[in-house]
Amino acid sequence: MEFQRARSAEQRLERRRQILSTAAVMLTEMPVAKLSLNELSRRTGLAKSNVLRYFESREAVLLELLLSEMRNWIAEVERATGPGDGTPRERGDRLAEILAASLARRPVLCDLLAAQAAVLEHNISTEVAVRHKHAAWQNTQALIELVRRHLPELGTEGAAQLVETTVLTAMAAWPCSHPPEALQAAYDSDPALGALRMDFTDLVRRTAQVTASGLLARHETASARPA
């Protein structure tokens, strides 16, 4: 295929969408670690140098996908959450279940989150890093607002702490709960070792529940103190 440079802003935007769409499909077939710039170039029908006209690196492509996946996840959580009934503890438990289950249904997002600090935030320019962090901050604020609506007792600070703990737990739990083939074979061969394997959904849910309960208890204690 002969490469034709996108000249208008609309053409450049469409070319970026094409690259992102192709990378998104690839991540449904392979983990982040195996997505190479060479294969991305081949699938888009563009030379590697031409892909780099639109994204400065493989990591820049993946960071864009991470933001998109986060927005989609937040939209799902928003559809599933609301003020609800029950005690703060009961609502906190339900919210934890929603967060954990919705994350588990999004393996691409979890894989990208797990690779963010160690891989995706390297090999990028300061300009890309600033742009990414501003967008990530907006996503985080949207998620905090959702938590506040479900658990207003936490306030903004408590909601932010619950969001931070849940996301960080997912980042750490995903690779631990999806071991490579050799470790999986070891777990399968010995029931005693198999007990060491983590369950992603259960770990994220329990951590979110305990965090929410602890934050609620601290809030109640602080409110009960005499002025």
Question: Which residues are within 8 A (CB) of 55 and not within 5 positions of it... i.e. 6 or more apart?
Answer: 16, 19, 61, 64
pLDDT (tens digit per residue) in 114-170: 999 999 999 999 999 999 999 999 999 999 999 999 999 999 999 999 999 999 999
* pTM recorded for the entire structure: 0.89
Distance of CA 76 to the CA centre of its chain: 13
- Alpha-carbon distance of 220 to 195, in angstroms, equals 37
- pLDDT tens, residue by residue, 178-219: 888 898 888 888 888 877 888 999 999 999 999 999 999 988
Complete domains list, the chain, with CATH? 1-55 (1.10.10.60), 57-224 (1.10.357.10)
Residue 111, φ and ψ in degrees, nearest 5: -65, -40
Place of tokens 């982040």: 32
Q: Do residues 203 and 173 touch, judged by C-beta distance below 8 A?
A: yes
CB-CB neighbours of 122 under 10 Å = 9
Q: What is the structure's pLDDT at 7?
A: 65
Q: Residue 1 above 70 pLDDT?
A: no
Sequence-distant (6+) residues with CB within 8 A of 196 are 187
What is the structure's pLDDT at 183? 85
